[in-house]
Amino acid sequence: MKQITPCLWFKDRALEAAKFYCAIFPKSKVGTVLRYGKSASKASGQPVGSVLTVSFTLNGQSYLGLNGGSVFKFSPAFSLIVPCKSQREIDYYWKRLISGGGRSSMCGWLVDKFGFSWQIVHADMDSWWRKGSAAANERVMAEVMTMRKLDYQRL
């Protein structure tokens, strides 16, 4: 089976978003850009020649950005998790993804300038939940619930 590729629906900024994300993540690149022709333009209301889709890769994972108009909007119900090895990495991704008009949310979540949700977490958190006692997990969760950007030292 080939890799599963998430498709992100943008109003009209898919190429801008792909370039923004690829500038942040290692092993990333913008791929093929397809443009609206007459038939697709007529059906969607998007201008002929404007970007229809853009394929891009972030750290080896394939994505497709689709400019489909304002019919659908991003929701925190779908987000991407960025597991970081250090506070320095957490700070790096947080600062860059929130730049240009993004906003912080709770528990390590943020929304970037395109309205897409990200979770910037420490890579060890998964093992903490699996290996920790119920009391330790409760203490960590209580701390997480008070934070916006996660603070590894407090956790």
The DSSP code for 70 is S
Query: pLDDT tens digits for the chain (155 residues)?
Result: 678 999 999 999 999 999 999 999 999 999 999 999 999 988 888 899 999 999 999 999 999 999 999 999 999 999 999 999 999 999 999 999 999 999 999 999 999 999 999 999 999 888 877 887 888 888 888 888 898 998 888 87
CATH for the stretch 79-144: 3.10.180.10
Question: 39-67: string of b/e by CB count within 10 Å (b at 16+)?
Answer: eebeeeebeeeebbbbbbbbeeeebbbbb
| Residue boundaries of the structural domains of the chain | 7-67, 79-144
CATH for the stretch 7-67: 3.30.720.100
For residue 2, what are the contacts with CB-CB under 8 A and spacing of at least 6?
none
